[in-house]
Chain A
Amino acid sequence: GRSDRYFKKKKEKMKRGHQDILHGGGGWYAVAPEMERGKRKTTMGAAEEGGDVDELLAALGYKVRSSEMADVAHKLEQLEMAMVSSAATNDDALLSHLASDTVHYNPSDLITWVDNILSELNAPPPPLPTPQSLPSADAYDLEPLPALPAPATPLVLGSDPQSEVAPSPRDRKRMKVCSSPPSSSTTTDAATSAAAALPVVVVDSQEAGIRLVHALLAGAEAVQQDNLKAADALVKQISLLATSQGGAMRKVAGYFAEALARRIYRPQPRGGVGCCSFDSVAFDDMLHMHFYESCPFLKFAHFTANQAILEAFAGCRRVHVVDFGMRQGMQWPALLQALALRPGGPPSFRLTGIGPPQPDNSDALQEVGWKLAQLAESIRVDFRYRGFVAASLADLEPYMLLDQDADGGGGGKDEEPEVVAVNSVFELHRLLARPGALEKVLGTVRAVRPRIVTVVEQEANHNGGTFQERFTEALHYYSTMFDSLEGGAAAAGADDGGPDQALSEMYLGRQICNVVACEGAERTERHETLAQWRGRMDRAGFEPVPIGSNAFKQASMLLALFAGGDGYRVEEKDGCLTLGWHTRPLIATSAWRVAAPAEDPLSALAAR
């Protein structure tokens, strides 16, 4: 009856304080005739013994002390669980017993009533219902989950292989936010919220996956609405649901749950450091290195940027590359080799590497330069190197980047001027954390008059709108990234990618943590889409340089070499190249040059 539905909602509110939770599963069964009293208002009798009574329930005729509410809710859930599972097996014995006339307990004293019913049940754990075949989860198109053996936890998780939908990955649509529950599902409901009270619960892992996504999105909404208690409960639910998943989904959910938890429990930023426990730059570099080695994203970035730089340097005898994120310098050996073998021979090559300050005062930047110099020497490329330590790219000034060496050959005036290329791989988005920083940096770049500026960025908007929108975007994006890591490992015939994959996931996990848990100047992973970057570069006075077909061919060939290469897609879009996993582009390489200046500043002014 209506009172039943109200009560169910009230119970949910008590436990989770939030109404959007997907709550599919069995309906509420009328237990005893007394429950069908409907909305008849009964005035409360004399004041109850002990604490005050919940008013809303009292209006319905149920006496429940406020202090007992959580307990009652919990027990009612257990009762529901038992009833639903018996209903699923069409076992009427329980229901008919409960509905019989033999014993009636007055449900107005709710806590006693539910205790009595539960003790009366005295039943062994409900028989495991066979999982129903779910409707094809086309609204949620999650990755088909491999049937996992049940882990040794209180939850017994199984999935009927026949009931798993196995869509072709290429046709898979991405998840959509949907608040209506899936229909016609009769499997046990909200098993996770019953925690350890029930000895055995069966959850279909695919449905659990849907619930997991819902719980994640609900958690974000709760945080958005500053409902931290609800968010906390949801985080626990997410963690529990995540154990029912395998592969990418479990890991992604784990990272997002952790990030949410950090956001809930540590709202104050701590002195400008990232939201990760282990903050050393060396650790970061190590993760970056494993990410470089195990998956193609960084290699793609380097190869495509190098090709654009190589083409821009055609015919030039003196060239200068400025690298905004030097790290280990992995991008440059390939360019040096290409320059060494280009028709007409190698140019005179200068490299300026920018890097963050190292806490242990080691001179990693110089070391890297030295190694590159050795390589350049072995292939007979004239090489000069300069390293700059800068906490932020905005600290750079043009004079630092311009050629100051008067001894670069004696006759300074006779020599060709340097041709400059500026290269930024996943560095520009950090500048958006401080207002004005990007503009300053782009101004500095303009001031050195580069022949080409290569920019590689994540193809996602993790910087706009509300927290909830950001969270949802990030969930889509990183799910795809993790899928691609899994896909690579699977295609290579490995059960998992080993330590490389785990470390790559950790590398991505730190980004997730930053996107979700940090704010303000701390939140440096402010990814924006290619379209957004186009706008920014345009406003800063740059025009796009199309990346040629050579780069496309080379990138495609490179991706073909990767196991799991089938899943990766290289696409060309308006002169830029993107690398994605199936239909989702994940990173984009673009090239720019300083836009031709307006003919006459005065006339341009008059035109305004």
Chain B
Amino acid sequence: EIKYTQLFINNEWHKAAKGKTFPVINPSTGEEICQVEEGTREDVDKAVEAARKAFDIESPWRKLEPAARANLIRKFADLLRRDIDYLSKLETLNNGKPVGDSKGDILGSAACIDYYAGWVDKIAGETLPGAHDQFIYTRHEPIGVCGQIIPWNYPIMMMAWKFGPALACGNVIILKPAEQTPLTALYCAALLKEAGFPPGVVNVIPGDGPECGNAIASHEHIDKVAFTGSVEIGKKIQEAAAKSNLKRVTLELGGKSPLIICEDADIDYAVSVAHRAIFTNAAQNCTAGSRTFVHAKIYDQFIAKSIELAKNRVVGDPFDSNTEQGPQINESQFKKILDYVEAGKKDGAKLECGGERHGNKGYFIKPTIFSGVKDDMRIAREEIFGPIMSVLKFDSYDEVIKRANSTSFGLGAGVITKDLTRGLTFAQRLEAGSVWVNDYDAIINQAPFGGFKQSGHGRELGKYGLESYYEVKTVVVKLI
């Protein structure tokens, strides 16, 4: 049952100002699930008005004792867990990820929200040493109206990552979920109201990028925008922010993250890590381990075992508990990925398995492995966001670090080795916001996450995740 398909502003449900709706598709079948109200600039303006009122210095939200704010945030987390069965089904219906993964995402989201609830009464400014007739201190104040634009690959979790720090710091929010996956965000809006957030504190406006997202990025009265998505759009967001009111910008963009498997790695372990590093979430993962560097000494073994694992990966109906991989999100992505398969073949990489559609309905693609990939091939340089493992051979550790770093991305990187010096040296030298040793995608709520270079700027999660959500005010009081 789809309960909520309207815009959520001021704790109320609204029809779109322009009176239009847009279709939401089930990627497992390619069929329409329902229509959702389509937010545009006028609706964003409405939301900004509501948010500004909710942010007024005398408002209930601004006057809340920090511990009380934390209790509200924690209540939302409890409601996510309470409704996990329904929510996970809705997520799977709209996004296509296996139901088990949806549940994992929801628990992780609730834990993230809980984590940030704990920070609320711990965000401290400082008193600073000054002249004896001066009292100097800093205040960490909420920025104000925060626009948040999130992608379709982890709809609920991306929403939680954005809400957590923003609310912990006392801001108000206008969130635009991806036009592919608005349904769970709207359900969560109802939960926020149930949790007791005052009207206008959180507003959810479904809509597209060009009309709705752009309205947020260029709005004169939105104080900050946080965007997770592609590098291409991220750059546009930053431009629009600069052209309008210099709103603060944080970006979490794509990656072409390397996983480096050294000669002393346990091969079975390496194969299993590499497999999940690329194929998790049908590879629709900003940190997907999409360049697998394998030491020459274990290369052949690695390829053989990886092919076997890939062939055994269960692709199918995400509501089936045996399924490990659901469909890609939509037709456009589906086509793009198959184009990359062709590009790989044309460039001379060896197609070891997969490389084609799975089934004849929905957007399923078989887990695909290319071996003999060269650094300059398209499949080695561009973010595919699809289930294609590209394996590159190496024998020099100094060289592989250079090769791993020669990209304008810098989101995640993994290295598998038993050697202490090698592991720590990779950690020092890899140009990535997160480096994982003997693991991959070790995303933990207390550990900051974000990109080097064009994978973005700013950090989410951890204490660092708060930094982009408060404004520092320095106060100097002279004792006259």
The reply to whether chain A is a binding partner of chain B is no
Give residues in A with beta carbon < 8 Å to B.
Answer: none
